[in-house]
Amino acid sequence: MIIMEKADKQFMKVAIEQAGIAEENGDVPIGAVIVHKDQVIGRAYNQREQLNDPTAHAEIIALTQAAAFLESWRLEGCTMYVTLEPCPMCAGALVLSRMDRLVYGCDDPKAGACKSLYNIVQDERLNHRLEVTSGVLEEDCSELLQGFFARRRRENKNNNQYGF
């Protein structure tokens, strides 16, 4: 168990690095990494603003990379590390990919579909379920998002010509 916790933190740090790239590009700082046999086979960050694509979530891009690497849409034996609890679209994609495990940093009370609002990845009505570990480097992941949105609010307030 201690070895898994250490690996979870190690790979979550890579996801956090990816989230930083998203922020540098003006997007919500969310990063995702997919690991197979202790090797990173997919890494991505949110690119919705950059690509003007509502589906360009870090998880979706990382899934595409991992599938290309394995030359299969079935991502059995893989673990996804993501800084924020996946939304319904991404949670559904994880189930459809046959991913074994999901590890995420902080909960998303407004759109989370793995615990907060829904639990798509463990819904017994579906044909596949994932093992889920939450709260890995939770404070780091949460601070990244909170800082981003605080800066956005300040920028929007400063850019308001009416001063309110």
Interior/surface letters 7-20, b for 16+ CB within 10 angstroms, e for the rest: ebeebbbbbbebbe
Instruction: Answer for the pair 33, 14: CB distance below 8 angstroms, yes or no.
Output: yes
User: Residues 78, 41: contact at Cβ < 8 Å?
Assistant: yes
Give the active site residue among 24, 49, 59, 138: 59
Smallest CA-to-CA distance from 13 within 81, 112, 101, 59 is with 81
Distance between CA atoms of residues 47 and 134, nearest Å: 23
59 has catalytic annotation:
yes
- Rounded CA separation 120/117 (Å): 9
Q: Nearest Cα to 106, choosing from 85, 123, 90, 87?
A: 85
Active site residues: 59
